[in-house]
A = this chain, B = another copy of it.
């Protein structure tokens, strides 16, 4: 007998992936990317993604606000659509609700979710509400669409490509620590900013679409498990090695100041902390100017070159200011091994 706590999430996914498909035709991608990608036969694809948020694993009811929770439930799925370069369409929502939950709390979850849905023009078209004898469990499935030839998979990174991330990395990890009060209340004036970056991530849907339209992106993923873990997914799917330039990792002033104050090594927290929901992507070297021009356009976040792709792998090295390299250990995030929030 093997228990999940000893087996882990990824071993299980490997095991169940072996069942294969009932009909392979038209399935461009199933397990192993941010979304399933299904050929609609008219030059477009359907994208399909689903994510669960489980109380006391992904959130604590007493350490978050209900509208933020609803926002996040949709946002993490939007981020998966963004990682393919797609446009989100329709969502269905499942709730398993403890009988003693306040109805107002669940209504506020929906309020936050609908505000996010309106912003991204997503219809919430149905769902299932049932009782839970344990934690509050919330699931959301989101569809999307995009041109078939523009889809950005994890698997296309090639030696010579430049690696980018959007926005600033690590804010969410700092926000989580603040939310869980790993440190006593700080004087840090950026506390609310960091908490907000954790509780209300802004999925990069517009950026993903713009990047896909350049046809210069060879691989893309959203940052949910952390830069190290997620870049390793790209390396594994693409069969390449990646080098991260330590100094190039974009860190917000608030994040630097938080790390200095509490004595945490900033780069390490930035690379291993999850839930940034920024985009990480590889670009052909000759196309980098064209891609970097995007970051100057209205409403798009900063794009930062954080490294490059080499042959070999799937492994990652980190390069310091003097050009010295060392392997980056990637433990991967496993809910069955991690303690949870």
Given A125-B30, A137-B96, does the pair A131, B4 have CB atoms closer than 8 Å? yes
> A99 → chain B, closest Cβ, in Å?
4
> At the interface with chain B, which of A7-15, A147-155, A168-176, A238-246?
A7-15
Flag whether A285 is at the interface (Cβ < 8 A): no
Q: Within the complex, which residue of B1, B106, B123, B137 is in contact with A22, where a contact is CB–CB below 8 Å?
A: B123
Chain B residue at minimal CB-CB distance from A56: B133
Given A114-B19, A132-B137, A134-B135, does the pair A12, B52 have CB atoms closer than 8 Å? no
> A70 → chain B, closest Cβ, in Å?
10
Copies of chain A in the complex: 2
The answer to whether B124 and A19 touch across the interface, beta carbons within 8 angstroms, is: yes
The answer to whether B4 and A99 touch across the interface, beta carbons within 8 angstroms, is: yes
Flag whether A143 is at the interface (Cβ < 8 A): yes
The answer to whether B102 and A2 touch across the interface, beta carbons within 8 angstroms, is: yes
The answer to whether A99 and B2 touch across the interface, beta carbons within 8 angstroms, is: no
- The count of chain A contact residues (Cβ–Cβ below 8 Å) is 77
Flag whether A117 is at the interface (Cβ < 8 A): yes
The answer to whether B54 and A92 touch across the interface, beta carbons within 8 angstroms, is: no
Given A4-B98, A42-B42, A114-B19, does the pair A50, B103 have CB atoms closer than 8 Å? no
- Tell me the complex Cα distance, A137–B52, Å: 10
- Tell me the complex Cα distance, A12–B99, Å: 12
28 residue pairs from A and B, CB less than 8 Å apart: A3-B99, A3-B102, A4-B99, A4-B131, A5-B100, A9-B130, A9-B131, A12-B106, A19-B110, A30-B123, A30-B125, A30-B126, A35-B126, A36-B125, A38-B125, A46-B143, A49-B92, A49-B126, A50-B126, A50-B141, A51-B94, A52-B96, A94-B139, A99-B336, A132-B137, A137-B137, A141-B141, A143-B143
